[in-house]
Amino acid sequence: MPLIGPLPIMSVPSSSSSSSSASHPRKSRYDIVLSFAAGTHKNFTDDLYSALERERIHTFRDDEGGEDSASELLGTSIKGSWGSIIIISEEYVFSGRCLDELVEIMNHREKWGRVYPIFYYNVDPSDLTHQRNNIEEAFEQHEMRYNRAKTQTWRLALKQVAEIRSRWAFRDYADE
């Protein structure tokens, strides 16, 4: 049984409505971009996506994204959307592609002053702040593969996300 019902968490201007935000240019046909790793795709993310679409919130999710780089369509969708919903899981933190997305989302957030909901899926939000446990392990791997400037940017983005107060934590969603 899905945990996600009607979404009281945000009011999103619909793509199909005739009014548009004067403070944010619309370049995309999507209202929301879902940022997630493959490990949440067939359970939590699918249910969230379905709930958003039922509410007529046009939602982009990159089901085909490879590990090494975010797709151009995803980058355009982030820049042109009303906002993003970030689903942080252990797989998310181990993925360079997801962390690149996160940096793009956080830059968009800073530029447009948006507050984005964050869902923690089997991850303790304080681990992001203190960069310990699996987060520390992920960065040990990233630092062997990527340059220091990139990994420092990712670390900062994760710390910024951990400070966002519109957040929810879920454990073992697949067993619910």
pLDDT, one tens digit per residue, over 132-146 is: 999 999 999 999 999
Domain segments of the chain as ranges: 32-175
Q: pLDDT tens digits for 164-175? A: 877 777 676 554
Rounded to two decimals, the pTM is 0.77
Q: Kindly state the DSSP code that residue 2 receives in the 8-state scheme.
A: -
The CA distance from 27 to 75, in Å, is 11
Structure token digits, residue 23:
């403070």
Reference 164, options 88, 90, 98, 80; nearest CA is: 88
Greatest distance between any 2 Cα atoms in the chain: 49
Catalytic residue among 101, 110, 143, 163: 101
3-state class of 84 per DSSP? Answer: strand
**CATH architecture classification, 32-175:** 3-Layer(aba) Sandwich (3.40)
101 is a catalytic site residue: yes
